[in-house]
Amino acid sequence: MNSSTLLADLAQIVGAANVLVDPAMIAGNLTEPRGLYAGKALAVVRPGSTAEVSAVVKACASAGVAIVPQGGNTGLVGGQIPDDSGNEIVLSLQRMKRIREIDSLTDTMTVEAGLTLVEAQAAAEGVDRLFPLSLASEGACTIGGNLAANAGGTAVLAYGNARELTVGVEVVLSDGCVVNALSKLRKDNTGYDLKDLFVGSEGTLGIITAAALKLFPRPRSRVTALIGLANPSQALTLFRAARQKLGQNVVTFELMKRIAIEFVLKHGMNVRDPLERPHPWYVLLEAASQVEGGLDEAVEDLLAEALENEWIDDAALAATLEQRADFWRLREEISDLQKPEGGSIKHDVSVPVGVVPEFIEAATAAVEAFMPGARVVPFGHMGDGNIHFNVSQPLGADKAAFLQSWEPMNEIVHAIVARMSGSFSAEHGIGRLKRDLLAKAKDPVAYDVMKRLKAALDPAGLLNPGKML
């Protein structure tokens, strides 16, 4: 079958208006926002229903044409971008935005893959519930992409990753068959855990078309604190004490080095230094509870104990929603406001929570030895052991020349991560960016199991080829 026959078949399935080939119209689907990955495609196909996805996959399968599923195109590892052969189809889920059901008695909602995260959050709020997944790209990223990548974000400590927030999935397999595992059940031990096999598989084992998601009561009290302290060890001590005193009420525990705050202060609009004087490190702590009363006192006790024991040097509690938003901007805008400082070499890594301070110390020393003047900007989800270990170029360096060091610097940092039994991809996934690294660094038996699973579910290799494996 030649490609024009396929395109005609696809137009029959989804309507001609939803088979896009005009380069101007599909340019946005072929590159990702940072411009790190770009590809070509036969067409961008936009099905409107699971039945259409199934039919599209069947047509592609019989034509032997590979499919790259795409949601909001916000992924950071190139997983959603086609290769440059021009032989692949981009399957955009963005028209599939239906909220199929909100069951507030069972605390679940069943939504289609193309719904944006912020729309899903709003749907939950509409029935006085919380859908707690929250990340910087939430305005654009979609539920399908969140699940395909097992997104993390800033509320994992209390609620878990996208995986833990999902109770059921509907998946189109490589032969077009549809797995109906859209269960709303909290407990279901009827066979292998297919849901979790597809979540996090980056579209390489099947295409998630809908999901049943957990809803939570909206917290009735919330406390947000911005804390200044001397070093990550003190932050770990504070985190241990917070878990002890607040348990699963700790929703957010973000660590930031002073330089990250400085970038936000320097390049951001209407931001001000949050504490009286600067501190080497900061923690953004947020706790939430259903129980009225008790939480404020518990956080105040915690901070008082921490000050008394000199684990921390200063702390401010957000007194208003506006102040809370200001604290959060210091964290949320780091990635963006690092850009005016030039090139940044990134590491999305995790280590066991207890060795985060050792990791930061060792990785900082190694990077500074490798490249004197490099500015280490570690920040992120300390409570999950997940640090975004970004490195900004030395002042005055040439950006392109600096970025040439991406791979050797990655190697240095990842070697330290490996020594500490950590992960070189904590929450962003593998995609194209870390595919070769996965092959080298993964436990070889586990990697072989992955290949066997891929062969079992996508024997012709038509689902997102060249990603992950």
Q: Interface residues for its own copies in 210-269 (CB under 8 A)?
A: 216-217, 219, 236, 240, 243-249
The sign of the dihedral angle between the CA atoms of 424, 429, 430, 434 is negative
Cα–Cα distance for residue pair 58/52, rounded to 1 Å:
10
126 vs 373, beta carbon nearer its own copies: 126
Give the CB-side neighbour count of residue 302, counting CA atoms within 13 A.
30
Residues 385, 422 contacting (CB under 8 angstroms): yes
Give, as ranges, the residues between 415 and 444 that touch its own copies (CB under 8 A).
421-430, 434, 438, 441-443
* Per CB under 8 A, 354 contacts its own copies: yes
Nearest-approach distance from CB 175 to its own copies, in angstroms: 10
Please say which residue, 46 or 381, places its beta carbon nearer to its own copies: 381
- CB of 132 or CB of 343, closer to its own copies: 132
d(CA 13, CA 466): 27
**Which residues from 266-305 bind its own copies, rule CB under 8 A?**
289-295, 297-298
Please state the closest distance from residue 19 (CB atom) to its own copies, in A.
26
Q: Which of residues 141-160 bind its own copies (CB under 8 A)?
A: 149-150, 152, 156, 158, 160
Choosing from 24, 192, 320, 396, the residue that interacts with its own copies (CB under 8 A) is: 192
Asked if residue 113 lies in contact with residue 210, where contact means CB atoms within 8 angstroms, the answer is: yes
Nearer to its own copies (CB atom), residue 340 or residue 352: 352
The least distance separating its own copies from the CB of residue 454, rounded to whole angstroms, comes to 8
Sign of the CA dihedral with 192 first, then 195, 200, and 205 last: positive
Residue choice 375, 381, 388, 432 for contact with its own copies (CB under 8 A):
381
User: Taking the complex as a whole, how short is the minimal distance between the CB of residue 364 and its own copies, in angstroms?
Assistant: 20
If one asks whether residue 395 binds its own copies (CB under 8 A), the answer comes out as no
- 65 vs 199, which CB is nearer to its own copies? 199
Q: Does residue 414 touch its own copies according to CB under 8 A?
A: no
Nearest residue (CB) to its own copies, 240 versus 266: 240
How far is Cα 237 from Cα 316, in angstroms, rounded to an integer? Answer: 18
Give the residue, chosen from 117, 377, 433, 457, that forms a contact with its own copies under the rule CB under 8 A: 457
Q: What are the residues facing 89 on neighbouring strands?
A: 43, 67
What 8-state DSSP symbol labels residue 247?
G
Which of 294, 340 has the CB closer to its own copies?
294
Contact between 4 and its own copies (CB under 8 A)? no
Structure tokens at 6: 């396929």
Task: Identify the sign of the CA torsion 136, 140, 146, 148.
Answer: negative
Rule CB under 8 A: say whether 197 interacts with its own copies: yes
HEC-encoded secondary structure of 207-224: EEEEEEEECEECCCEEEE
Contact (Cβ atoms closer than 8 angstroms) between residue 229 and residue 281: yes
Do residues 175 and 194 touch, judged by C-beta distance below 8 A? no
Residue number with CB closer to its own copies (75 or 82): 75
**What's the token pair of residue 173?**
């397999």
Cβ(427)–Cβ(348) under 8 Å? yes
Q: Which stretch binds its own copies (CB under 8 A): 18-26, 67-75, 261-269, 453-461?
A: 453-461
Q: Can you tell me which of 125, 193, 273, 411 binds its own copies, judged by CB under 8 A?
A: 193
Instruction: Tell me the closest approach of the beta carbon of residue 238 to its own copies, in angstroms.
Output: 13
- The smaller minimum CB distance to its own copies, of residues 19 and 450, is found at 450
Residue 336 CB coordination number (10 Å): 13
Question: Closest separation between CB of residue 159 and its own copies, Å?
Answer: 9
The C-alpha atoms of residue 51 and residue 57 are separated, in whole angstroms, by 10
Nearer to its own copies, 201 or 335 (CB): 201
Contact residue for its own copies among 95, 97, 184, 267 (CB under 8 A)? 184
Q: Give me the residue label for tokens 């380069």.
A: 23
- Give 303-310 contacts, CB < 8 A, sequence gap 24+: 303/225, 303/227, 305/241, 306/227, 306/237, 306/238, 306/241, 309/237
Q: Which residue type, as a one-letter code, is found at position 38? A: A
Q: How far is the CB of 80 from its own copies (least distance, A)?
A: 15
Q: How many chain residues are in contact with its own copies, going by CB under 8 A?
A: 97
Cβ-Cβ contacts under 8 Å for 159 (sequence gap 6 or more): 132, 133, 165, 216, 251
Segment 332 to 351, residues that bind its own copies, using CB under 8 A: 350-351
Nearer to its own copies, 41 or 205 (CB): 205
- Pick the piece of the chain touching its own copies (CB under 8 A) from 39-47, 192-200, 338-346, 400-408: 192-200
Burial of 140 (0-12, 13-18, 19+ CB in 10 A): middle
Residues between 100 and 119 that touch its own copies (CB under 8 A) = 103-108
- Considering only residues 15 through 74, tell me which ones interact with its own copies, judged by CB under 8 A: none
